[in-house]
Amino acid sequence: MPAYRVQWQQHVSLTATVTVELDELAAWACEHLGMRTINDGAAVGATPAGVRRLLEHNTRMREELLQQWAAAHMPHQ
């Protein structure tokens, strides 16, 4: 019997409940995503403390980083 390979794209919605401290999320974002900030007109590496403050006040950024953190920490087959 012949074997065929097919490939397609499909939109997937995923809901995950993750437990992570904001300090850990901020440190991960600085190390693994290379977050940057502007300091005296120059782009420099963001500090975990600065990212933590951002996450406390910016819901959209917090949700985006949580999505990226969850995807990076999912078991891969």
Q: What is the DSSP string of 1-47?
A: ---------------------HHHHHHHHHHHS--EEEETTEEEEPP
Token pair 């078991």 is found at 75
DSSP β-bridge partners for residue 44: 37
Could you tell me the maximum CA-CA distance found in the chain, to the nearest angstrom? 67
13-47 pLDDT, tens digit each: 888 888 999 999 999 999 999 999 998 999 999 99
pTM of the entire predicted model: 0.76
> Residue 34: which residues within 8 A CB-CB, separation 6 or more?
45
Q: Domain segments of the chain: what residues?
A: 22-71
